[in-house]
Amino acid sequence: MAIVVLPDWLNNLDDEDIVFIKKFLLASGSLKEIANIYGVTYPTVRLRLDRLIQKIQISDDNSSEPYISLIKRLALNEKIDFDTAKILISEYKKVKKEGVVYEME
């Protein structure tokens, strides 16, 4: 019996993302054809592909800074806005560099 091990970046994708990738591959990477399949515009498909690429890149980057990867994932999944994500990441880096520890009251 073979054990199937999927890469982390693939495990972190939603079912919708995997279906999109499959359709993208079957369409030979044609964004125009994918737009027709989904009934949306080319820029909409391009945006979806760009976000998918960002998700994969974040998964690859996850091992070095899990907190930053979490914040980026939340922003990509529209759980927080990008400006908030930038602030959180910036403050995290500042605190980490300075070695400051905050206590919760």
How large a percentage of the chain has pLDDT more than 90? 37
63 against 92, higher pLDDT: 92
Q: Please measure the distance between the N-terminal and C-terminal CA atoms of the chain and give it in whole angstroms.
A: 53
79 against 60, higher pLDDT: 79
Q: Tokens 């592909």 label which residue? A: 49
Please state the rounded mean pLDDT for residues 58-70.
Answer: 72
Query: Tens digit of pLDDT for each residue in 31-61?
Result: 999 999 999 999 999 999 998 988 887 766 6
Statement: the pTM of the whole predicted model exceeds 0.75: no
Return all residues near 70 (Cβ < 8 A) that are at least 6 apart.
none
